[in-house]
Chains A and B, each alone.
Chain A
Amino acid sequence: DQQVKQNSPSLSVQEGRISILNCDYTNSMFDYFLWYKKYPAEGPTFLISISSIKDKNEDGRFTVFLNKSAKHLSLHIVPSQPGDSAVYFCAASAEGAGKSTFGDGTTLTVKP
Chain B
Amino acid sequence: DTGVSQDPRHKITKRGQNVTFRCDPISEHNRLYWYRQTLGQGPEFLTYFQNEAQLEKSRLLSDRFSAERPKGSFSTLEIQRTEQGDSAMYLCASSRRNQGSYGYTFGSGTRLTVV
Contact = CB atoms under 8 A, between A and B. Distances in A.
B43 interface: yes
Interface size for chain A: under 10, 10 to 19, 20 to 34, or 35 or more residues? Answer: 20 to 34
Interface stretch (B12-20, B64-72, B96-104): B96-104
A99 B101 contact: no
B40 A43 contact: no
A50 interface: yes
A43 B93 contact: yes
Interface in A36-78: 36, 41-46, 49-51
Interface residue tally on B, bucketed by range:
20 to 34
A50 B103 CA distance: 11
Given A41-B108, A43-B106, A45-B106, A101 B100 contact: no
A62 to B, nearest CB: 13
B100 A100 contact: no
Given A43-B4, A43-B108, A102 B42 contact: yes
Interface in A5-60: 6, 9, 31-32, 34, 36, 41-46, 49-51
The 4 lowest CB-CB distance pairs between A and B, nearest first, are: A46-B103, A43-B106, A102-B42, A49-B101
